[in-house]
Amino acid sequence: MIDTSLKRNYTGENQAAALPEPSRRRLVRLMQILRQTKAERLTSAEIGGLVGCRDTLVRRDIGLAGFRGGVSNGYDTGALLSAVERALGAGDGAAIRRCCIVGLGRLGTALLDSSIFDGSGFAVVAGFDSSVNRTEILRSTFPLYPASRLEAAVAAERIEFAILSVPDREAQSVTERLSRCGIRGIVNFTAAAFAAPEGVRVENVSPVTALLTLAAGC
Amino acid sequence: MIDTSLKRNYTGENQAAALPEPSRRRLVRLMQILRQTKAERLTSAEIGGLVGCRDTLVRRDIGLAGFRGGVSNGYDTGALLSAVERALGAGDGAAIRRCCIVGLGRLGTALLDSSIFDGSGFAVVAGFDSSVNRTEILRSTFPLYPASRLEAAVAAERIEFAILSVPDREAQSVTERLSRCGIRGIVNFTAAAFAAPEGVRVENVSPVTALLTLAAGC
DNA sequence: TACTGTGAACCTATTCACAGCA
DNA sequence: TGCTGTGAATAGGTTCACAGTA
């Protein structure tokens, strides 16, 4: 059995782990809105329209994030953004988080375009594929490795997150390998469902999964 | 106040709308597992390991889906799959659902590889981009149109769902156009947050959003 | 024995209702 | 007046505990 007691070593004053999951998701969304908006002030009702929830809930979330600065014409977007980023551990001072892409098929290579991640707080610093052909031919601003070097490179590059775009059948085994070298989260672009190892979070974002989820409600 | 009583006009025997949202998401996941597994039987505990929830909850979900066939060595995967598909409106008899890709940048073109959607119950039948250059040069098994023909083609092709991979700044306006021609759901690959028009569901699956959500919990 | 199915208890998230404030 | 912030009420989802069954 895997010992979980040592999995989390808190490296900062990040309180996000204490936030309820739904609030965390909405606050992430709010952070993205605030990063993009040009408005100087926003009310909870306006935010609710963009996040997709009621104004009351927006105010709750903001309260949970530890921000109190609202006045009768809404929130100052700059101040609110700082507070939300701090609550989510994505503040100005926060280190850029290092990611890798595993599986350089059509979808994986599309993500080599690192401009996608500009200003997000994340940087892709490595790519992996089982085909040496691909890792040698493809061009990118960061190194591409054969899959055999996954463990070594993840450790050496101190990579925290992985974007998984391998064929479905490899998803489970690659996940286990990633987990063993201490990855903290996986963005799963495959349609495969796999057991998330202890201490590894998974976000399922396969287009197929997303379409199924959408369609299931209609 | 908005009157919700008339919002849903049930167009079939699809009961998925009645399922609680979290259950629906887990059942979608379960459906994917069942479609992929080779096992003839699975217990609720095994399923729970893959879906990421407790066995009790799996049994609740299965019950909500209207299936009762479990016995002391678990569920027959074939029978369970039929039941889950029926509950989600994705049964054998269900029509293939028609989708389009809007925005044929690197990410959008990666999704032109229609093998991604094989066997999923979805088919991409059109692509759109504001650059006529792209729509004329790119190769695909289905037609690619200039963005100006969005409304016409979505109506003519009876497209129900859209995959959005345009630049962030265009996300809101394209969403409104899609909504006006009756699209039912949008898979949002952009990092933009936009107000979902009445009657349109949105699944946010941008890699950036996914990474932020993962990282916010650590 | 090893599982499922489910009423009841519990806990969590959301909404209501309204006081407080600019 | 028009907003925020929050205690209290409500609704909703999850887990417990256990009876039922092959």
- Who among A97, A109, A113 is closest to B215 (CB)? A97
A23 touches strand C (CB under 7 A): yes
- Compare all CA atoms of chain A with the CA of B21 and give the residue at the minimum distance: A217
Please provide residue B96's backbone torsions phi and psi, each rounded to the nearest 5 degrees: -60, 135
B72 touches strand C (CB under 7 A): yes
- CA B46 to CA B36: how far, in whole Å? 14
Tell me which H or E stretch contains A135. Answer: helix A132-137
User: Residue A13: its pLDDT value, please?
Assistant: 41
Residues facing A153 on adjacent strands: none
For B72-115, write each residue's pLDDT tens digit. 899 999 999 999 999 999 987 789 999 999 999 999 999 999 89
Chains A & B: contacts with CB separation below 8 Å = 214
Of the two residues B132 and B1, the one the predictor is more confident about is: B132
DSSP B19-57: S-HHHHHHHHHHHHHHHH---SEE-HHHHHHHHTS-HHH
- Please give chain A's pLDDT, 218 residues, in tens: 333 332 233 333 445 668 999 999 999 999 999 999 999 999 999 999 999 999 999 999 999 999 998 888 999 999 999 999 999 999 877 899 999 999 999 999 999 998 999 999 999 999 999 999 999 999 999 999 999 999 999 999 999 999 999 999 999 999 999 999 999 999 999 999 999 999 999 999 999 999 999 999 67
Following CA atoms A144, A150, A155, A157 in sequence, which dihedral angle do they give, to the nearest 10 degrees? 10
For A52, half-sphere exposure in the C-beta direction (CA atoms, 13 angstrom radius) is 17
Q: Do A120 and B161 touch (CB under 8 A)?
A: no
Q: In a mutagenesis test of the A interface, which of B61, B168, B208 is the best target, namely the one with the most A β-carbons within 10 Å?
A: B208
CA B43 to C1' C4, whole Å: 9
User: Residue B93: its pLDDT value, please?
Assistant: 79
pLDDT of B127 higher than 50: yes
A94 touches strand C (CB under 7 A): no
CA B51 to C1' C1, whole Å: 26
Q: Average of pLDDT values for B22-38?
A: 97
Q: Average of pLDDT values for B27-51?
A: 97
CA A41 to C1' C19, whole Å: 24
Of the two residues B21 and A1, the one the predictor is more confident about is: B21
- Residue A42, CA: closest nucleotide via C1'? D3
Q: Name the residue closest to D12, CA to C1'.
A: B20
Select from A5, A3, A8 the least CA-distant residue to A201.
Answer: A8
Q: Which two tokens stand for residue B161?
A: 């769902």
Of the two residues B6 and A107, the one the predictor is more confident about is: A107
For chain B, give the mean pLDDT. 91
Q: Average of pLDDT values for B36-45?
A: 97
Interacting residues of A3 by C-beta distance below 8 A, sequence separation 6+: none
State the smallest CA–CA distance between residue B29 and chain A in angstroms: 7
Residues in reach of strand D, judged by a CB distance below 7 angstroms, are A 43-45, 55-56, 59-60, 62-63, 67-75; B 20-23, 53-54, 56-57, 60, 71-72
